[in-house]
């Protein structure tokens, strides 16, 4: 092997992995700096658990990135091992061969990313290629596996009998496009594609026996000490219709079932407080006590420059051998707060900023009824956001409707007979609460969009939730004065981690009497908040003026 220019020159040449474009907001390339922070966290935990030993000087530790994209984790691990194992394996070529064949493994999420990952790790898209830095592999894949995987469709009503390659008659789906994948929930109508197209059936989560699958890929005796990486986050249409469905938790659970010594993954922070069907996952993660480190960024672009979605991102370090509290570090915007010890299961969701806990406890201590029983569920009158069957003119038997058209609030008229849901709310005064309001981690935040006081005999689309009913306009205005307060929106913010504010986000907001004009001074006094707690709330929440309301 020639002088290892591929490693030596990296200190002087620009790193290509800092400049390649992301595949999408769901399949995000991890910046090298972020990957190295995760590896530093891993190394510290390894040393604490192994009497100060250096994980990078251990020639028997095996690493797996089961959803590699750019190959950045594999590459950075290799660089550290090459330096750390110099004393044990002095010859550079021998050392590189050992590391790449015995210690570092990956599973590509697509054919393209598998080639990219091999290029990052082996300096060649084929492990046996001319420019590969090792000649110890007998196949082009090396230890970075990828093969086309099929979804397993269920729920379809269309079946047919076919003959398999052994001559047996088996029952399979016909050419219909209904049904979903039993493993990831992918809708067949979107992802039942020909083999020439990526179908995003990720091998790591398309199995009921992950240990057997790993044995098939890398050998029956394969046990990984460290699993680390950045999985795909969601799947288009997996939540039904045009909605996307989170899948990152499926990768986490599969990795945990492999029982590595350490597991570290990048995940969207929305799992801490929300997400469709995330309750059981959150409970498992909060109560098993194995999360040793949790690093949380409220603003996605702080950790991943150029990438921006609501709720932020973070990573955790799961330790198979340790239980108890975890070390938690929060990046509030660009500010890194001091690391603290936290119990993750203190509440049903995780309050990200420790400074908020004393305020929350004072409010909850009064044991008042909350707004969860006052606020409606999603799609309060059964009319979707894209509802269009309305008129601009009033006619006999019609109700006024509040809706959004091309991003703008508007009103119209709809036939009373089409409303089948929550009809008891129709004749009353009510307050419409925007279901979505995004700020991308801005501080101070508004948290919620302006509400609308809705007159009797009115309905709305899915754009809004409904608070009420109220017996008079006076009561409705009392509620909106409460909604405007910083304390109200602060309590919502503790549970609202994405742009969506569904009924559950109002769980910690206590009800008040609707015969007064509420303001923060009165509420601060009622709940006995200290000056520093008030200052904290007002540093986090922007004032909301009355003229913002479209009543």
Residue pair 271/313 in contact by the 8 Å Cβ criterion: no
Beta-carbon contacts of residue 33 (< 8 Å; ≥ 6 apart): none
pLDDT at 165: 56
What is the Cα–Cα distance from 32 to 370, expressed in whole angstroms?
Answer: 45
Number of other residues whose CB lies within 10 A of the CB of residue 153? 21
- CA dist 452 and 431 (Å) reads 6
φ/ψ bin of 238: left (φ > 0), alpha (ψ from -120 to 50), beta (otherwise): alpha
Q: How many CA atoms lie within 13 A of 127 on its CB side?
A: 21
Tokens of 10: 């990296």
281-298 b/e with 16+ CB inside 10 Å = b?
bbeebbeebbbbbbbbbb
Nearest-CA neighbor of 292 among 96, 473, 43, 1? 43
What is the rounded CA–CA span in Å between residue 291 and residue 252? 12
| φ/ψ of residue 346, rounded to 5 | -65, -35
Q: Are 225 and 239 in contact (CB under 8 A)?
A: no
The per-residue pLDDT for 14 is 56
Nearest of 72, 100, 62 to residue 10 by alpha carbon: 72
Which stretches within 5-71 are classed as H helix? 5-8, 32-49
Interatomic CA distance for residues 123 and 108, integer angstroms: 16
Q: What is the pLDDT of residues 141-190, one digit of tens each?
A: 999 999 999 999 887 655 555 565 555 665 555 555 678 899 999 988 88
CA distance 125 to 141: 8
Query: Angle of helix 486-493 relative to helix 473-484, nearest 10 degrees?
Result: 70
Q: At what angle do helices 248-257 and 279-287 cross, to 10 degrees?
A: 40
Quote the CA–CA distance of 388 and 204 in Å, as a whole number: 42
pLDDT digit of tens for each residue in the chain (551 aa)?
Answer: 444 434 443 444 556 566 555 555 556 789 999 999 999 999 999 999 999 999 999 999 999 999 999 999 999 999 999 999 999 999 999 999 999 999 999 999 999 899 999 999 999 999 999 999 999 999 999 999 999 999 998 876 555 555 655 556 655 555 556 788 999 999 888 888 877 788 889 999 999 999 999 999 998 889 999 999 999 998 876 554 446 789 999 999 999 999 999 999 999 999 998 777 788 999 999 999 999 999 999 998 899 988 877 789 999 999 999 999 999 999 998 899 999 999 999 999 999 999 999 999 999 999 999 999 999 999 999 999 999 999 999 989 999 999 999 889 999 999 999 999 999 999 999 999 999 998 877 889 999 999 999 999 999 999 999 999 999 999 999 999 999 999 999 999 999 988 889 999 999 999 999 999 999 999 999 999 999 999 999 999 999 986 444 44
Residue 313 gets the label, from left (phi > 0), alpha (psi -120 to 50) or beta, of beta
**Neighbour count for residue 544 (Cβ, 10 Å):** 21
Contacts 24+ apart (CB under 8 A), 397-400: 399/426, 399/457, 399/458, 399/459, 400/455, 400/457, 400/458, 400/459
pTM of the entire structure?
Answer: 0.86
How would you classify the pairing of strands 226-229 and 262-268? parallel
């Amino acid at each position: 092997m020639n002088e290892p220019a591929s490693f030596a020159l990296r200190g002087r040449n620009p790193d290509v992995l800092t400049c390649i474009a992301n595949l999408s907001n769901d399949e995000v390339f991890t910046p090298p700096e972020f990957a190295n922070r995760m590896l530093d966290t891993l190394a510290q935990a390894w040393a604490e658990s192994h009497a100060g030993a250096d994980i990078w000087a251990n020639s028997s530790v095996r690493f797996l990135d089961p959803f590699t994209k750019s190959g950045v984790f594999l590459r950075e691990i290799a660089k550290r091992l090459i330096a750390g194992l110099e004393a044990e394996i002095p010859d550079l070529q021998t050392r590189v061969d050992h590391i790449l064949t015995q210690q570092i493994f990956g599973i590509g999420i697509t054919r393209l990313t598998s080639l990219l990952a091999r290029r990052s790790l082996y300096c060649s898209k084929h492990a046996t290629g001319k420019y590969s830095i090792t000649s110890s592999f007998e196949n082009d894949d090396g230890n970075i596996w990828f093969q086309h995987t099929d979804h397993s469709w269920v729920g379809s009503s269309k079946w047919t009998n076919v003959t398999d390659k052994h001559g047996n008659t088996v029952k399979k789906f016909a050419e219909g496009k209904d049904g979903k994948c039993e493993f990831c929930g992918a809708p067949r109508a979107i992802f039942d594609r020909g083999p020439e197209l990526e179908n995003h059936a990720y091998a790591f989560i398309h199995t009921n026996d992950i240990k057997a699958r790993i044995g098939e890929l890398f050998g029956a005796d394969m046990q990984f000490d460290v699993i680390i990486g950045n999985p795909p986050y969601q799947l288009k249409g997996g939540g039904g219709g045009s909605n996307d469905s989170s899948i990152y938790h499926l990768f986490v659970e599969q990795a945990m079932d492999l029982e590595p010594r350490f597991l570290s993954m990048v995940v969207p922070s929305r799992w801490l407080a929300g997400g469709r069907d995330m309750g059981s996952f959150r409970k498992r993660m909060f109560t098993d006590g194995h999360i040793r480190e949790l690093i949380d960024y409220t603003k996605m672009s702080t950790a991943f420059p150029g990438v921006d979605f609501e709720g932020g991102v973070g990573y955790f370090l799961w330790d198979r051998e340790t239980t108890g509290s975890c070390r938690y570090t929060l990046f509030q915007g660009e500010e890194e707060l001091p690391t603290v010890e936290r119990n993750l299961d203190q509440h049903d969701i995780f309050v990200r900023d420790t400074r908020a806990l004393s305020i929350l406890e004072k409010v909850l201590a009064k044991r008042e009824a909350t707004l969860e029983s006052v606020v409606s569920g999603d799609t309060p009158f059964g009319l979707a956001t894209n509802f269009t069957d309305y008129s601009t003119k009033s006619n006999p038997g019609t109700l006024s409707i509040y809706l959004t058209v091309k991003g703008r609030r508007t009103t119209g008229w709809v036939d009373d007979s089409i409303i089948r849901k929550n009809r008891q709310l129709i004749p009353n005064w009510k307050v419409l609460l925007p279901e979505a309001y995004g700020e991308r981690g801005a501080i101070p935040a508004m948290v919620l969009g302006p509400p609308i006081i809705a007159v009797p005999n009115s309905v709305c689309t899915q754009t809004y939730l409904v608070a009420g009913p109220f017996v008079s306009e006076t009561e409705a205005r009392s509620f909106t004065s409460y909604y405007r307060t910083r304390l109200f929106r602060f309590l919502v913010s503790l549970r609202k981690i994405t742009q969506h504010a569904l009924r559950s986000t109002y769980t910690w907001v206590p009800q008040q009497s609707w015969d007064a004009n509420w303001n923060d001074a009165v509420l601060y006094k009622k709940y006995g908040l200290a000056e520093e707690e008030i200052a904290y709330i007002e540093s986090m929440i922007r004032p909301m003026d009355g003229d913002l309301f479209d009543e």
